[in-house]
Amino acid sequence: MVEPKKILLGVTGCIAAYKSCEIVRGLQKAGVDVEVVMTESATEFVGTATFAALTGRPVRTSTFGDLADAIPHIRLAESCDLLLIAPCTANVLAKVACGVADDLLTSTALAAHDHLMVAPAMNMHMYESPATQANLTTLAERGVALIEPASGRLACGDVGQGKLAPVEDIVAAALAWLDGRSASRADAPTSVLDLLGKHVLVTAGPTRERIDPVRYLTNDSSGKMGYALAEAAARRGAEVTLVSGPVALDPPSGINVIPVESADEMFAAAREAFPEADIAIFAAAVADVRPKERAGRKLKKGVDDKALRIIELEENPDILATLAATKRPGQIVVGFAAETDDFIANARKKFASKHADLIVANEVGRGKAFSQDAMTVALVTSDAASELPHSSKREIAVTILDWAHSRLANNL
Ligand code: CTP
């Protein structure tokens, strides 16, 4: 029998502490085993008895007092798959960022630094303060998963960002972590879960256009850019559909990968996922043309000479242009422009013809872009073209998603 996953829920002294009860319930409904640790201040808002009744386990607030469990912070950190602190006050956030370990929860957080998720909640001015923002950056850089607070009316009457994120988002983020969808610190350039609840569609890799069962037309695309985008979106909490042409990359975990071969197959899969997508990124190098006839058996010299010498081609559907023409308000569409020359000027033309909100222009050719881990790109929009410094595809993926996220957030 598979052991249920275990989440240690840290509750801190915040008016939103009562919502932690719903978080316990949401996690339990998904089959997760939950144990709770509270700070002393949290018990001013909700009693330990409430969480003990909900979890069926004693709730500890102090490192001391139980000789049978003399080193509880290490036991707790080691026995859980994830330590989720929700809500996390500005004070506990600051302590965790600095490595202060002056009570059971913060000592446990220090020991659980590589499987830690934090959902801050506080007044908007406290949230905006340079100190809190610096602490959040520190934690994000260390790979701690951060669930951004929501905006709205706060307990004090102010309106702004600081409310604990919706319970269902917190539960979804924690489950995604357990699923392996959110990356751990090792490979997390950013771990802010700002795409929670969003659907992201990515096309990636080349397509193969069959001439006969053993021959095809294709191109040099490795799929690395599309895979980096899909992984980065999943790390930020998005539900990702990756429509992938044939590549030599491992399918990323926690991502719905739809393997396809031809442009037609890619079109069908992308068309199905597109209406649901909040962000659609067309990174595939789709073959523009395909053989008009596809032989059912291997073409043979001396038998099929004409068919081998002259392959009549017909155009493939333009997946990006066709789908982007149907995009609904608020949906963000990103395309690429693979160019061997005049890459910005050509990308501007593609911007005009493809109905995308952003075209990522890159130079291709021998030793450039395709198959490489790093490249130079320019972001082309209706009013600007800005060249980014030569960067890794993973860094470029983060920049593209930052751009798309800010467009979504501003609902442009
Ligand atoms: N694209 C697509 N379907 C096609 C061709 C291209 O979805 N049949 C998308 C690519 O995924 C990319 C963008 O359109 O986001 C531009 O692709 P690119 O290969 O640079 O340009 P093409 O449109 O093929 O034009 P050209 O070959 O003339 O440069």
DSSP state of 117: E
Burial class (CB in 10 A: 0-12, 13-18, 19+), 92: buried
How far apart, in whole angstroms, are the C-alpha atoms of residue 311 and residue 401? 40
Per-residue tokens: 115: 């499987």
Distances (CA, A) of 385 to 235, 339, 345, 379, 408: 27, 15, 10, 5, 20
Q: State the 10-residue block means of pLDDT for the chain, 412 residues long.
A: 88 97 96 97 97 96 86 95 97 98 97 96 96 94 91 87 93 84 41 84 98 96 96 90 97 90 98 98 98 95 92 97 96 94 90 95 75 87 91 93 91 63
What residues flank ligand 1, with Cβ below 6 Å? Answer: 203, 263, 282, 284-286, 288, 316, 318-320, 335-338, 350, 354
Residue 66, pLDDT score = 83
User: For the packed helices 19-29 and 167-179, what is the interaxial angle rounded to 10 degrees?
Assistant: 40
Contacts 24+ apart (CB under 8 A), 50-56: 50/21, 51/9, 51/11, 51/20, 51/21, 51/24, 54/21, 54/24, 54/25, 54/28, 55/24, 55/28
Span from the CA of 169 to the centroid of ligand 1 (angstroms): 36
How far apart, in whole angstroms, are the C-alpha atoms of residue 269 and residue 299? 30
Residue 347, pLDDT score = 93
Cβ atoms of 146 and 192 closer than 8 Å? yes
Per-residue tokens: 326: 């149907």
Q: Which helix (H) or strand (E) holds 314?
A: strand 313-315
Residue whose entry in the numeric block shows the structure tokens 């709770």: 36
How far apart, in whole angstroms, are the C-alpha atoms of residue 221 and residue 205? 5
In testing the pocket of ligand 1, which one of 318, 322, 334, 357 has its CB within 8 Å of the most ligand atoms? 318
Residue 366, pLDDT score = 62
Residue 1, pLDDT score = 62
The three state secondary structure string of 218-261 is CCCCCCHHHHHHHHHHHHCCCEEEEEECCCCCCCCCCCEEEECC
Residue 177, pLDDT score = 84
DSSP state of 327: P
Kind of pairing, strands 33-38 and 159-163?
unpaired
Q: Write the single-letter amino acid at 96.
A: V
Span from the CA of 136 to the centroid of ligand 1 (angstroms): 39
Cβ atoms of 201 and 279 closer than 8 Å? yes
How many Cβ atoms are within 10 Å of 4's Cβ, its own excluded? Answer: 14
CB burial string 66-88: b at 16+ within 10 A, e below? eeeeeebbeebbeebbbbbbbbb
Residues 6+ apart with CB under 8 A from 8: 34, 35, 36, 37, 76, 77, 79, 80, 82, 83, 84, 108, 112
> What distance, in Å, lies between the first and last C-alpha atoms of the chain?
49
Residue 247, pLDDT score = 97
Span from the CA of 284 to the centroid of ligand 1 (angstroms): 8
Span from the CA of 337 to the centroid of ligand 1 (angstroms): 7
Q: Cα 389 to chain center, whole Å?
A: 23
Cβ atoms of 46 and 17 closer than 8 Å? yes
Residue 193, pLDDT score = 82
**Dihedral sign for Cα atoms in the order 11, 12, 17, 19:** negative
Q: What is the DSSP string of 332-394?
A: EEEEEEEESSSHHHHHHHHHHHH--SEEEEEE-BTTBSTT-SEE-EEEE-SS-EEEPPSEEHH
Kind of pairing, strands 374-375 and 33-38?
unpaired
Which atom of ligand 1 is least distant from the CA of 284? Answer: 11
In testing the pocket of ligand 1, which one of 208, 266, 286, 326 has its CB within 8 Å of the most ligand atoms? 286
Residues 6+ apart with CB under 8 A from 342: none
